[in-house]
Amino acid sequence: MISIKQMNEKDFDLCYKFDLNTISLWSKNQWVNEFKKRDIQIFGLVFENLVIGICVFQVILDEVQINYFVVNQEFRNRGFGSFLMNFLIRRCEKLNINKLLLEVSQKNVIAEKFYSSFAFSTVGKRRNYYKDGSDALLKEKILTTK
């Protein structure tokens, strides 16, 4: 069974360890800061009592910045990412959000395909944005249904 769990401070370790075991994007301090940010929302995708995906986003007026969107490697390409994204989109629609924004490495072909499948379009580029020197593509999706 799949469900969505809203994360709070008690789930800090769970989030940090999930990241450590997947893409190791943020240090412990970065996770601490993320939890402290205003208007941050963190959701876990739960499958058979296991958190297999996490999405972190920040509401800024009528826009949402997706800061983190990851499915555990073992569960990828089975529709779980789409489930989490559809949840996020529905939630944003309820909050009257107009636009979803994110950054993704130009080298991340799979994530690019994933976001394209949700009609995100590239609206800009940040050169040498990542540690490995790759560019970040700035992507957005306009939400029309309200």
Provide the binding-site residues for ligand COA, judged by CB under 6 A.
23, 69-71, 76-82, 102, 104, 108, 110-111, 113-114, 117
Give residue 69's identity as a one-letter amino acid code: F
Residue 12 or 130 having the CB closest to ligand COA: 130
Beta bridge partners of 2: 47
Paired tokens of 37: 């940010």
Cβ 2 to ligand COA, closest distance in Å?
11
Residue 58 or 108 having the CB closest to ligand COA: 108
Residue 77 or 121 having the CB closest to ligand COA: 77
Cβ 39 to ligand COA, closest distance in Å?
20
Cβ 134 to ligand COA, closest distance in Å?
12
Query: How many angstroms separate the most distant Cα atoms in the chain?
Result: 41
Residue 88 or 97 having the CB closest to ligand COA: 88
Separation between Cα atoms, residue 44 and residue 47, nearest integer Å: 10
- Residue 1, burial from CB neighbour count under 10 angstroms (0-12, 13-18, 19+): exposed
Cβ 88 to ligand COA, closest distance in Å?
11
CA 27 to chain centroid, in Å, comes to 17
Give residue 37's identity as a one-letter amino acid code: K
Minimal CB distance to ligand COA: which residue? 81
